[in-house]
């Protein structure tokens, strides 16, 4: 009897998105009373993900130092005005400065933990994780794989295709191409263009006044097609339509805003230098999974993890190493 070969599965984690979520809400304290919710909480979420999704490989993508620099050079307002990430009020035990120091320590310590585990960590100076994730899911190494992007960020909706889906951990739901078409009546291929008209409050990007995704889908119904449209196509509709609705005039008058937003929002062509792409190409091509279980356990003891059952996480790591050898 011929066995059916299972489609390989890649888990791609938006690291800061998951780390900050764990940091804010996880009340875990070390045995000496210091907050370690970001560190321990991330690993607990990670264990749940690999238990449920059973990936063959994991890529964890971080924002590099100055990751927003390139986009800020195009729009000084990009990601401005964000409040500092702080612990949930119910679990604050430190001053604000101590809290920020602890947050940075936990993040760096998490990277050290992951270095002992059979996962690929990617980080490039002056590059955002969004671009790295886009590069990974489009990489030929993973052609034919099922790719799961773990993030609550809607920016990744544009990357959904027949192989790539999004898992939103806060909502605990998957989002695929059909979900986006059904809910928004906009094809993922055109999702960045639609959002360029609407704007993005989370990134402090202003949109066209009075325009939302529902009105974009209704007035530019061709965006539902599996075809990449351009700002020129939007402007052509605005010029040709006989309707006197303000939306068409408002959009036509804000062409430069839409073009600027699109350049910042689109991930189809990730903003990574040739040198950066070469570094990632090398990391992906030369990945050899290794698991230092003793090192990881020693770190957990030193950091005061206390009692935590990480059996499933460690079992997953051992399987990854074993599968690669065979």
**pLDDT < 50 regions, the chain:** 1-3
pLDDT value for 88: 65
Q: What is the reported pLDDT for 73?
A: 65
CATH 3.40.50.1010 domain span(s) along the chain: 9-151+273-310
State the span(s) of the chain assigned CATH 1.10.150.20: 185-265
Model pLDDT, residue 2: 47
pLDDT at 1: 43
Going across the sheet that includes 9-14, the strands are 120-122, 57-61, 9-14, 146-150, 164-168, 173-175
Question: How many residues are there in the chain?
Answer: 326
Convert the pLDDT of each residue in 145-195 to its tens digit: 999 999 999 999 999 999 999 999 989 999 999 999 999 999 999 999 999
9-151+273-310 folds as: Rossmann fold (3.40.50)
Q: How far apart are the first and last CA of the chain?
A: 22
Whether domain 185-265 has CATH 1.10.150.20: yes
Query: Distance between CA 157 and CA 154 in Å, rounded?
Result: 5
CA distance 162 to 189: 12
pLDDT in tens, 95-136: 888 889 999 999 999 999 999 999 999 999 999 999 999 999
Q: How far is CA 308 from CA 49, 99, 218, in A?
A: 16, 24, 51
């Amino acid at each position: 009897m011929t066995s059916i070969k299972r489609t390989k599965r890649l888990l791609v984690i938006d690291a800061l998105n998951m780390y900050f979520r764990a940091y804010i809400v996880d009340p875990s304290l070390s045995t000496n009373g210091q907050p370690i919710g970001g560190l321990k909480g991330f690993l607990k979420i990670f264990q749940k993900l690999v238990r449920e999704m059973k990936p063959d490989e994991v890529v964890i993508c971080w924002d590099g130092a100055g990751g927003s620099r390139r986009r800020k050079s195009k729009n000084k307002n990009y990601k401005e005005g964000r409040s500092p990430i702080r612990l949930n009020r119910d679990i604050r035990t430190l001053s604000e400065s101590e809290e920020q120091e602890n947050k940075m320590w936990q993040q760096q310590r998490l990277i050290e933990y992951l270095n002992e585990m059979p996962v690929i960590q990617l980080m490039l100076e002056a590059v955002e994780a969004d671009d790295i994730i886009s590069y990974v899911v489009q990489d030929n190494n993973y052609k034919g794989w099922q790719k799961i992007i773990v993030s609550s960020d809607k920016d990744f909706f544009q990357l959904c295709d027949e192989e790539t889906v999004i898992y939103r951990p806060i909502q605990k739901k998957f989002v695929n191409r059909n979900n986006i078409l059904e809910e928004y009546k906009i094809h993922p291929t055109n999702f960045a263009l639609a959002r360029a008209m609407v704007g993005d409050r989370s990134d402090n990007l202003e949109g066209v006044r009075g325009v939302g995704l529902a009105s974009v889908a209704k007035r530019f119904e061709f965006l539902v097609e599996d075809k990449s449209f351009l700002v020129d196509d939007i402007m052509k509709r605005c010029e040709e339509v006989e309707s006197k609705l303000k939306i068409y005039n408002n959009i036509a008058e804000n062409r430069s805003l839409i073009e600027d937003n699109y350049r910042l929002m689109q991930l189809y062509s990730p903003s990574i230098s040739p040198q950066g792409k070469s570094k990632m190409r090398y990391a992906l091509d030369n990945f050899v999974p290794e698991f230092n279980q003793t090192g990881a356990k020693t770190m957990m003891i030193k950091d005061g993890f206390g009692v935590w059952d990480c059996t499933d996480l460690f079992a997953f790591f051992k399987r990854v190493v074993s599968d690669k050898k065979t």
